[in-house]
Amino acid sequence: MSKLLVMQSGGPTAVINSTLAGIIKIGADAVKSGAIDGVLGALNGIDGVISSRYTDLLQSTCNGNIDMLYSLSCTPAMALGSCRRPLPSDLNDPLYDTIIKSLVEADVKYTVIIGGNDSMDTVMKLSAAAYARSAALYFNGAVKTVDNDLNCTYFSPGYGSAAKYIGISMLEIIRDAEIYNVKSLTVVEVMGREAGWLGAAAALPHAFGNTAPHLVYLPERTFSFDGFVADVKREFETHNNVIAVVCEGIKTADGKYAAEGNMSGAVDAFGHAYLSGIGKVLENFAQKTISCKARSIELNVLQRSAAHAMSETDRSCAWRVGEDAALKTLECVGGLTAVIGSINPCVIKMADISEVANYIRCVPDDYINESGNMVTNSAIDYILPLIQGEVGVKYCNGLPKHFSLTV
């Protein structure tokens, strides 16, 4: 007999724990049927495996009690904790021996890693390292990312809820901005380093009778400060309260981040530059060049962790991704990742991990207008189904009830 292991890694989303809940559900069923004898979680992703920090997920959920799993699925970020540790390219690296030894000692045969691009790279390497050592261990992925930039999936679980939160927040920012009868510019900064999916979601209010936001700049197009000033001036001709949305990762023609003047130069473990501040840069720039009242709003980490505004479509698809990833792993198949084939109805399929790892799917050309300062109706038509449905988040004493796996 052997066990099913789950880990979470990368950055948070509102629904990663929904994928975890789906995996625990399948694991609990498999324990009941006698196929396996336990479901473990590694604390802080692969770091937890390396240091043999495992937690019994059936114990902390009363053997997969469905109410507890639902409550877990409404809790943002990662109940198991995360990590950002890229594994060595050299499959002979002794770290792989450490990992495999830890898994074998914990009686783990089946592993599902919930994560994005970098985590799929981890799945791929672990599969290859185990194969090279003739270890009968099976690793599969379950995709997630608020960025929606993963290959082979109709959308990435996490994006639907982030898009919904951004849509709600944009509507409220529009209401807030329109009350004064004076010209003002509001710059809203959203996440998105390479792909502008979150910026595109900021245009959702167009589908609800709003003319705002008036400008949306995605990293898929070269950003020009002069073009921005011209755009804002033109919008002021017909609107008092201009709202511009900008993704953190927009670059100027020289290939540098537009916010580069404010960057520390620091990079994370995967070599990604830390970005923030383009909203504030544009606020200051507009005040000086257009002499208008300007303010900036950075939606910040709340856009990825706002479980209270979760999309039910996103939550339920994320759950199904977890279920199918676990089912496939228990069939002794590895090197795949569960992705979304379609929604309405939600169809999950398994993609080869090599087709997902380390690819970035950008916003396609026909979703961006010719001027490169707005998304098209096609983009809205794609995003709208992903934000459908509200989750019955349970409140206790005035705040949402979050579930903790701590036993």
Residues with a known catalytic role? 147
Q: Tell me: does residue 52 bind its own copies (CB under 8 A).
A: no
Q: Tell me: does residue 91 bind its own copies (CB under 8 A).
A: no
Please report, as residue ranges, which positions from 102 to 161 form the binding site for its own copies (by CB under 8 A): none
- Based on CB atoms, which residue is closest to its own copies, 266 or 407? 266
Site string (212-251) toward its own copies, x via CB under 8 A: -------------x--------------------------
Please report, as residue ranges, which positions from 1 to 20 form the binding site for its own copies (by CB under 8 A): 8, 12
Contacts 24+ apart (CB under 8 A), 269-275: 269/84, 269/85, 269/86, 270/84, 270/86, 270/118, 272/193, 273/193, 275/193, 275/248, 275/249
Q: Tell me: does residue 83 bind its own copies (CB under 8 A).
A: yes
Could you tell me which stretch among 101-109, 126-134, 304-312, 347-355 binds its own copies (CB under 8 A)?
304-312
Cβ 166 to its own copies, closest distance in Å? Answer: 10
Could you tell me which stretch among 163-171, 226-234, 345-353, 362-370 binds its own copies (CB under 8 A)?
163-171
Q: Tell me: does residue 359 bind its own copies (CB under 8 A).
A: no
How far apart are alpha carbons 21 and 71 in whole angstroms? 9
Cβ 37 to its own copies, closest distance in Å? Answer: 28
Interface residue with its own copies, options 168, 229, 343, 362 (CB under 8 A)? 168
Specify whether the CB–CB gap between 112 and 4 falls below 8 A: yes
Please tell me the total number of residues recorded for the chain in this structure.
Answer: 407
- Based on CB atoms, which residue is closest to its own copies, 172 or 331? 172
How far apart are alpha carbons 362 and 198 in whole angstroms? 11
- The CA-based diameter of the chain, rounded to the nearest angstrom, is 71
- Based on CB atoms, which residue is closest to its own copies, 88 or 261? 261
Cβ 370 to its own copies, closest distance in Å? Answer: 26
Q: How many CB atoms lie within 10 A of CB 354?
A: 17
